[in-house]
Amino acid sequence: MLSGDQIRILELLPSGDEGPAAPLRGHVYIVSLSSNPDYEAVSYVWGKPDGRTNIEVSGRSFGISSNLDALLRRLRYTNRKRQIWADQICIDQSNLSEKTTQVKMMGDIYSKCRQCLIWMGEIPESIPQSGVEDAIHLLEFMATPDDVNVPEFLSTRDKFLKVFEVLYLIHPHGNTWWSRIWTDDVATEGISRWAMDLKGFPKRDADNFYRDWAHDHYNACNGRALDRSFLRSTVEDHAGSTRVLGVSGVMVDTVQIISPQRSTAPESDARISENLRAWYKLAASRQPGGVSAGTRPEFDEQFCRLVVADILELRDEDDPESQSRMPNAEDLGNAWKFIKEGIQSPGEVWIKESHMPSQLCNQVFFVTASGMMGMGPWDTLPRDEVWIFDGGNYPFTIRPRHERGSKAEFDFVGCCYIQGIMFGERFQKQEELSSRRIYIY
């Protein structure tokens, strides 16, 4: 009987020499979530129980659905055990009280797992392997059009339609996984830092698909309050529409040039290092008055700080004081070594904790008119303006709508990182900065 924050974990035994056809076997043990157990949670559609599939759990035969049977066979290693949380096995389905308690814990179960595996079912035999590979190629092309060759099937109608047949298998209308009651919990809490395809394609670290900048630690606006009255009046003036935002802030600079070298996720250390050197060279060439022997040490330090986002996330839950810190001389030295040689230092925080790839990948590097270095969304363009909005922890890039004859209307581009202004430095100088009210679409 479970109590408190306890859950069961299935220790899935390896298949050994018997291969995929080997009977499923495992043991179940009890752990407390507060003890930070190491396990992987699975999310799947139960399917109709057919009574023909079983797993041997602690020496006893245990009936499971054919869909879970297929999932466990995909997950099972050949030569080592695997710790899995699967509700069919780990919750006593005959005990209503336990089911009620465990259901309330679903959010914690999915969010505290080491990895969350989403199973959308086997690929139908009618879908050829080539069709699956084409679908993956299309998604890669859509995500990184500059770095992936145009798929050949885009010029062939039949192949193109075949790709969409594959993609429909994971579409909300084409896969019953989306109708699960716990899909929202899994999608928002349980994607535990990675995503994987069990058909044999490489797993992808989820950190690499979004920016990992330290959202809670920057203070670009230096504590200036959001102009709520202007925000409210803008909504009222536009008949309640939220498609136009009225904000106040300070225009910092203008994007002047963007580096053509970009790092996608995932990238090799050598490729990232090569791109960093190209960024460094570009930034050095755009410094007012150039970079001399006297100013180079300071410039090098600022570039290294940009590379590590000027803050290190340690993610040590046992020590709240170590959640983040500014990079020290050793950190910056290790970053510089990586930039110059592509060599990682053992145990280095900004690489070990996936801080470096998630900070640098899927970003454009740019230099502003005054020589400031920054990173932002891929659709950033020269002449975009960098602003700090009142109430904003980040700077933002926005695009003037000059064609409409107004100097107060802009299109939103996205948040960005600008070295040297992330902690309110822009407002800590003696000169007074005047705030402007603008409209963002």
The pLDDT tens digits for 363-403 are 889 999 999 999 998 788 999 999 999 999 999 999 998 75
The pLDDT confidence band at residue 195, using thresholds 50, 70 and 90, is: very low
Tell me the average pLDDT across 399-426: 85
Tell me the average pLDDT across 169-185: 44
Instruction: Say how many C-beta atoms besides its own lie within 10 A of residue 25's C-beta.
Output: 17
**Which one has a higher pLDDT value, 357 or 192?**
357
Tell me the average pLDDT across 271-293: 89
Report the distance separating Cα 438 and Cα 441, nearest Å.
Answer: 10
Residue 10 and residue 30 in contact, taking contact as beta carbons nearer than 8 Å: no
Mean pLDDT of the chain: 78
The pLDDT confidence band at residue 90, using thresholds 50, 70 and 90, is: very high
Antiparallel, parallel or unpaired: β 24-32 and 54-57: parallel
The pLDDT confidence band at residue 48, using thresholds 50, 70 and 90, is: low
The pLDDT confidence band at residue 183, using thresholds 50, 70 and 90, is: very low
Tell me the average pLDDT across 7-26: 92
pLDDT of residue 190: 40
Report the distance separating Cα 380 and Cα 398, nearest Å.
Answer: 9
**Which one has a higher pLDDT value, 222 or 402?**
222
pLDDT of residue 404: 52
Most confident of 2-6, 179-183, 252-256: 252-256
| Percent of residues, the chain, with pLDDT higher than 70 | 67
Tell me the average pLDDT across 276-297: 90
Q: What is the largest CA-CA distance in the chain?
A: 78
pLDDT of residue 361: 67
Tell me the average pLDDT across 252-269: 81
The pLDDT confidence band at residue 242, using thresholds 50, 70 and 90, is: low
Antiparallel, parallel or unpaired: β 40-43 and 115-118: parallel
CA distances from residue 54 to 17, 29, 91, 260, 355 in whole angstroms, order as listed: 20, 19, 16, 55, 42
Report the distance separating Cα 190 and Cα 210, nearest Å.
Answer: 16
Give the tens place of pLDDT for each residue, 325-365: 788 898 899 889 888 887 776 555 554 444 565 567 668 89
pLDDT of residue 262: 73
Backbone angles phi, psi at 3, to 5 degrees: -145, 155
Q: Which amino acid is at 316?
A: D
Tell me the average pLDDT across 242-254: 89
The pLDDT confidence band at residue 206, using thresholds 50, 70 and 90, is: very low
Q: Which amino acid is at 386?
A: V
Instruction: Say how many C-beta atoms besides its own lie within 10 A of residue 34's C-beta.
Output: 11
If you search the block for the tokens 């603008």, which residue do you land on?
438
**Which one has a higher pLDDT value, 184 or 243?**
243
pTM of the model: 0.53
Q: Which amino acid is at 350?
A: W
pLDDT of residue 29: 95
Tell me the average pLDDT across 101-124: 80
Tell me the average pLDDT across 149-178: 58
**Cis ω before 266 (30° cut-off from 0):** yes
3-state secondary structure the chain: CCCCCEEEEEEECCCHHHHHHCCEEEEEEEEEHHHCCCCEEEECCCCCCCCCCEEEECCEEEECCHHHHHHHHHHCCCCCCEEEECHHHHCCCCCHHHHHHHHHCHHHHHHCCCEEEECCCCCCCCCCHHHHHHHHHHHHHHHCCCCCCCCHHHHCHHHHHHHHHHHHHHCCCCCHHHHCCCHHHHHHHHCCCEECCCCCCCCEEHHHHCCCCCCCCCCCCCCCCCCHHHHHHHHHHCCCCCCCEEEEEEEEEEEEEECCCCCCCCCCHHHHHHHHHHHHHHHHHCCCCCCCCCCHHHHHHHHHHHHCCCCEECCCCCCHHHCEECCCHHHHHHHHHHHHHCCCCCCCHHHHCCHHHHHHCCCEEEEECCCCEEEECCCCCCCCEEEEECCCCCEEEEEECHHHCCCCEEEEEEECEECCCCCCHHHCCCCCCCCEEEEEC
Most confident of 139-148, 163-172, 179-188: 139-148
